[in-house]
């Protein structure tokens, strides 16, 4: 069950949180292993509708965790500015909770295409050629967003 935001004075609307999610450069995927060990890992991602896509190697720590528990948290931090004289930081962030599963077939292709559009917008055609050669060397996962919250200090 998701907790309520403690600093309600810093809460932003769902629309604003989704905009932070759309614009951020990377996110931190948090999973839990079968023995309860938490694991947070930065990932490149794309956001489309109510789904976050990320790619992965064919095996590894995050995949082991997802096999045992598909419930995840995903956090992004948008713009930040350190305010040294105020001992504070301006920031914007969004946290989502959801369920992760492997995207296959057309949905895998869609996820990879969304990643290309985000990170290589001027090279989509070249990227598609690359994916034809190397696409089998990666997995694509999707997180279906169940809830999203955001905070900011402006």
Does the domain at residues 8-153 carry the CATH identifier 2.30.110.10? yes
For β-strands 139-153 and 51-56, DSSP reports them as: antiparallel
Number of H helices, E strands in the chain: 4, 8
**pLDDT over 90 at 119, yes or no:** yes
pTM of the model: 0.89
**pLDDT over 90 at 149, yes or no:** yes
The pLDDT of residue 137: 83
Bridge partners, 130 (sequence order): none
74, 68, 38, 41: which is closest to 57 by C-alpha? 41
**pLDDT over 70 at 2, yes or no:** no
What is the secondary structure of 26-91 as a DSSP string? Answer: -EEEEEE-TTS-EEEEEE--EEETTEEEEEE-SSSHHHHHHHH--EEEEEEEEEEEEEGGGTEEEE
The pLDDT of residue 76: 98
DSSP character for 120? -
| pLDDT, tens digit, 9 for 90 and up, residues 128-144 | 888 888 767 889 999 99
The pLDDT of residue 135: 63
Q: Domain locations in the chain?
A: 8-153
**pLDDT over 90 at 154, yes or no:** no
Tell me the torsion sign for CA atoms 53, 57, 61, 66. positive
| pLDDT, tens digit, 9 for 90 and up, residues 8-44 | 778 899 999 999 999 999 999 999 999 999 999 999 9
**pLDDT over 60 at 1, yes or no:** no
| pLDDT, tens digit, 9 for 90 and up, residues 50-107 | 999 999 999 999 999 999 999 999 999 999 999 999 999 999 999 999 999 999 999 9
110, 123, 133: which is closest to 55 by C-alpha? 110
What is Dmax (Cα atoms) for the chain? 53
The pLDDT of residue 117: 94
């Amino acid at each position: 069950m998701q907790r309520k935001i403690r600093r309600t004075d810093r809460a932003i609307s769902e629309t604003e949180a989704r905009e932070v999610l759309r614009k951020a450069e990377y996110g931190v995927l948090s999973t839990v292993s079968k023995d309860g060990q938490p694991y947070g890992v930065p990932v490149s991602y794309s956001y489309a509708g109510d789904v976050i896509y990320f790619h992965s190697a064919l095996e590894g720590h995050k995949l082991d965790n997802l096999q045992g528990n598909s419930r995840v948290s995903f956090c992004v931090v948008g713009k930040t500015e350190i305010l040294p004289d105020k001992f504070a930081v301006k920031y914007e962030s969004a946290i989502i909770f959801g369920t992760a599963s492997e995207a296959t077939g057309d949905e895998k292709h869609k996820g990879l295409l969304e990643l290309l559009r985000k990170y290589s917008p001027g090279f989509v055609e070249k990227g598609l050629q690359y994916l034809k050669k190397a696409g089998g060397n990666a997995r694509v996962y999707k997180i279906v967003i169940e809830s999203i919250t955001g905070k900011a200090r402006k």
